[in-house]
Structure 1
């Protein structure tokens, strides 16, 4: 074989090698792009995709059905008692009857009771305080071992609430969930729904939903 033929054969081998490398690069890039598109598609289909983060609790707590409160009437201790806000949002207060509590702050309810006792001539310049002794429960739904209602405790997070509910199922999405919140809203306002993370602080009455993962 002549030197010209040898050079031609060498050139052919180099071109084939480059072609194989190019195909390998294209194949790797294609797999990478397909994986990226797959991940993007799954994220777009995530149950919490498009949900804004849940606004933090206001700290301006409004009473709701299921809250237990203690009313202290300093002018007349016999009127002091513990009450539970009923399903219709009222408490049954002595001498007055049904008093609307849902949607009121503790201070607001104390003012309402004072005004009612004073305007009816039942007490002169009544001094009343209201404090929450037990908050209304939260609800944990979806992919947890024991979905249901659980007593709210101050400082409770999504993670601690899930622990109360027996932990996640093996199908659960663990890094995010959704919650519906009524805390801080007036009675006629619609609940707010948003995305939460394991360290998100919950509020009384929150309804948390843990979703199922796709694979």
Structure 2
């Protein structure tokens, strides 16, 4: 007995629905991807968690008095006009935009348009067997090898063993890195001495 067209279509629809259910919906990207990332992961400004020493630029459309650059102070906050001490450390720029927008909308502005960007990250520190150890500005995309180059290059005693100490979340994390491992703001990059 031949199948009716409607029965065949219903059977196909059921199969498609079953396959879609098996595939599932991919989970949304974690907001803490930066702090939990593998050491080799590239720096992503969109999910970067702001930290003490970072400088952010906040722009409020048509409100020059509420726009400017703000450095995150040792208590993890910025001093923002009208709102006072605003907690910033540990948030993303998107979180900061929402926080400022919410604060300004409570009796100050109607539907404020707020944009936040990082204009300067916390510096990195390069030490060990490099020619000019010290503090250097962070730039997105910087690798451990590039950090050593910025610090004058390796000395003749360098073992070319790179280590990074990172304090993204919780206790300090020190791990063995490769020359191509990406550096994050505030990282301490150390090149060990060669054993003779």
TM-score by length of 1: 0.68
- String of CA shifts for 1:29-57, please: whole Å, max 9, x gaps: xxxxxxxxxxxxxxxxxxxxxxxx73524
1:131 — aligned with what?
Answer: 117
Separation of aligned partners in 2, 1:159 and 1:199: 6
Question: Radius of gyration: which is bigger?
Answer: 1
Give the SS at the match of 2:78: strand
Unaligned runs of 5+ in 2: 1-37
Deviation of residue 140 (structure 1)?
0.6
Runs of 4+ with >4 A deviation: none
From the two aligned structures, give the one with the greater helix fraction: 1
Asked whether 1:107 is paired with 2:94, we answer yes
From the two aligned structures, give the one with the greater strand fraction: 2
2:163 — aligned with what?
Answer: 178
Q: Figure out how many residues of one structure are paired with residues of the other and give that number.
A: 157
Deviation of residue 179 (structure 1)?
0.5
2:186 — aligned with what?
Answer: 205
State how 1:1-215 maps to structure 2 within 5 Å: 54-57=39-42, 59=44, 60-74=47-61, 76-119=63-106, 121-174=107-160, 176-183=161-168, 185=169, 189-215=170-196
Separation of aligned partners in 1, 2:165 and 2:112: 38
Unaligned runs of 5+ in 1: 1-52
Give the SS at the match of 1:88: coil
CA RMSD of aligned residues (A): 1.7
TM-score by length of 2: 0.74
Separation of aligned partners in 2, 1:58 and 1:201: 7
Contact kept? 2:40, 2:182, Cα under 8 Å: no
Give the SS at the match of 1:91: strand
Separation of aligned partners in 1, 2:39 and 2:175: 4
